[in-house]
Amino acid sequence: MRKYLNFIDGQWCNAISGQTFDAINPAKGEPFARIAKGSRQDAQKAIAAANAAQSLWRKVPLWERAALCHKMAELVVQYEKDLADILCTELGKPRHGEAIDEAREVATNFRQAAELAKFLEGQTIPTQDPHKRVLTFRQPRGVIAVITPWNFPAAIATEYLPHAIVMGNTVVWTPAPTAAATAVVLMEIIARAGLPKGVINLVLGPGNEVGDELVINRSTHAIGMTGSPKTGLTISSRAGLKPKLMELGGNGPTIILPDADPVKAAQMIAPACFYAAGQVCSCAERILVADNLKQDFVDEMIRQARSWVQGDPWDTNVNMGPQNSMMVVDKMTAHLLDASAKGAKILVGGGRPKLPGFFYEPTVLVDYAIDSLVNKEETFGPIAPIAAFKNDQQAWDYINACDFGLVSAVFTRDVDKAWQWADNLRTGITVVNDFTNYWELHIPFGGMSGTQSGLGRIGGRHTLEFMSDLKTIAFNIG
C-alpha cells in the first residue's frame, strides 16, 4: 500500500514518531494506504517553517502571488483525474459525478482568489484635523492555521488555502484523518507550481494533537476551520484572542408553504437530502410542509428516494456513495431510532443495504416529533425528515426548537410571503424556491450570530478580508 506523508518546509517527510495509521476505503470498509501520523512535534516543526517563510512571502508582490494561484489552478485541471480518483477511493464519492465535480471546483477556487484579491481596495478617510491624511490598506495576518473536514476535503481546503497565500500569509494545514490521502494528492499538485518552501505546510494526524497545537501555539496568528460545532467550541476555548473563521454545520429548515407546487418542490429538495449521501452542512435535514400539500409531497419524495442508486462509486450508474465511517452510520441509525420511538414512520429506506463498506439507504421519515434528534441536531446522512404544519406558528415552533443557523429554504408563489419568511429566518442564507445546497463560491456563506453554525463568512472577498489585517496610517502633513 502507498504511504502518504507530511509536507513541511517544502519536503515530504514521515512523522517524527515514525507512526502511521490506515486510510480506509468507505465503499469497501478496507484499508488502501498508510498515513503518516503526525503529532504536536510535527505541527511545531511546520509552524516554525511557516513563520520563517512568512517574512519573505509577504514581500512578494500581490500580482506574483496571484499568478502562482493561477498556475496552481492550471495544474489542478491538468491532474484533475488524480484528484477525482483519490476522492472516489478515500471518500467513496461517485467518480463520474461528485468526484470530478469537486476536482473542478478546486481550480475555480484558486482562480477566484487570485483575481478578487486584486480588487481589495483600501480607502482614504476624511479627518477633522486639517493637518492629517488617513488611509487604510490590507496586510497579511501572518501564519494561518487551516483545519478542514472530510466531506469535501479538496473543495473546502481551497476555500481557505489560496485566499490565505494570495494575501501574503503562510499556512499550516491539517485535514480530517479520514481525508488525509486526498489532502496529500492536492498538496502534490499545488506544490508542482513552484511554491516556495514553508508557504503551505501539511501535517496529517489526530485533531486532538495536531489540530490543537495549531490552535494554541502562539506562532499561529489566525484560524480557518470547517467542522462540527463541538470542535468549534473546543477551538474557541483554546485559541484565545486569535481571529477565527469557522463554518460549523447546520440543520436548516426547508419550508413548503400552502401555495407551493408540492411535486416540483419535492423534485428540487430531494438532491439536498441525498446528494453526497446527505453529508453536506447545507442539506435539507428537516422539511416542514403545509398540511394540505403533505400527501402529494411525500409521495414524490418517496419516488425521488428510490431513484438514487448506491454501489461501487466507480460504476457510472451509481449516484450515491457510502457514509464516511461507521460513526456516521451509527449516528444515522440513532436518529432514526429516536424519531421512531417518538411516533415517526419510516416510509422508505431506514437501514443499511446489502453492500460492503459504510452505505446507508436513502430514507424518507414522516411525522417526526418536535423534540426528535432529527429536528434538534445535524444528522449528516441520506435522510428526508418530513413534518406537516397546519399554521405558521406550528412551523415556527419546529424551526425554533433547533439552534443551528446556516441555510434555510422557503417554497411559495407569493412574493410577499417569500420576503417575510426570508427576512425572519435566522440563517446566514435563505434560498427561495430552490434547494438549500445552492451556493456559488464567491457568495458569503456562514452561520447567523447566536447559533451553532459558526463565525464569519467564507466565500470570495469575504474570505480574503478575513485573511488580512486592516492597517490604518495617519500622516501629519504639517
User: Do 296 and 265 contact (CB within 8 A), yes or no?
Assistant: no
Q: Which residues contact 128 (CB under 8 A, 6 or more apart)?
A: none
User: Do 410 and 430 contact (CB within 8 A), yes or no?
Assistant: yes
Strands (E), 194-248: 200-202, 222-226, 244-247
Its CATH class, for the domain covering 2-248+455-476, is alpha beta
Residues tagged active-site: 247, 281
DSSP one-letter code for 196: P
- Average pLDDT of every residue of the chain: 98
DSSP labels, 13-71: E--TT--EEEEEETTTTEEEEEEE---HHHHHHHHHHHHHHHHHHTTS-HHHHHHHHHH
Report pLDDT digits (tens) over 214-241.
Answer: 999 999 999 999 999 999 999 999 999 9
**3-state SS of the chain?**
CEEECEEECCEEECCCCCCEEEEEECCCCEEEEEEECCCHHHHHHHHHHHHHHHHHHCCCCHHHHHHHHHHHHHHHHHCHHHHHHHHHHHHCCCHHHHHHHHHHHHHHHHHHHHHHHHHCCCEEECCCCCCEEEEEEEEECCEEEEEECCCCCCCCHHHCHHHHHHCCCEEEEEECHHHHHHHHHHHHHHHCCCCCCCCEEECCCCHHHHHHHHHHCCCCCEEEEECCHHHHHHHHHHHCCCCEEEECCCCCEEEECCCCCHHHHHHHHHHHHHHHHHCCCCCCCEEEEEHHHHHHHHHHHHHHHHCCCECCCCCCCCCECCCCCHHHHHHHHHHHHHHHHCCCEEEECCCCCCCCCCCCCCEEEECCCCCCHHHHCCCCCCEEEEEEECCHHHHHHHHHCCCCCCEEEEECCCHHHHHHHHHHCCCCEEEECCCCCCCCCCCCECCCCCCCCEECCECCHHHHHHCEEEEEEEEECC
pLDDT of residue 169: 98
Q: What is the C-alpha separation between 154 and 102, in angstroms, rounded?
A: 7
User: What's the pTM value of the predicted model, to 2 decimals?
Assistant: 0.97
Its CATH class, for the domain covering 253-440, is alpha beta
Cell of 320: 450515491
Identify residue 87 by its one-letter amino acid code.
Answer: L
pLDDT of residue 215: 98
Q: What is the C-alpha separation between 309 and 270, in angstroms, rounded?
A: 14
Q: What is the C-alpha separation between 298 and 194, in angstroms, rounded?
A: 54
Domain residues of the chain, as ranges? 2-248+455-476, 253-440
Element (H, E) at 164: helix 161-166
Which residue shows C-alpha cell 444515522? 332
Residues of the chain with pLDDT under 50: none
Walk across the sheet containing 123-125 and list its strands.
Answer: 123-125, 132-140, 468-476
Q: What is the C-alpha separation between 53 and 199, in angstroms, rounded?
A: 6
Q: What is the C-alpha separation between 190 and 439, in angstroms, rounded?
A: 25
Q: How many residues does the chain have?
A: 478
User: Do 253 and 399 contact (CB within 8 A), yes or no?
Assistant: yes
pLDDT of residue 1: 87
The neighbour count for residue 38, using CB atoms within 10 Å, is 30
Identify residue 380 by its one-letter amino acid code.
Answer: F
Cα distances (angstroms) measured from residue 147 to each of 85, 175, 246, 335: 23, 6, 9, 27
Q: What is the C-alpha separation between 31 and 325, in angstroms, rounded?
A: 12
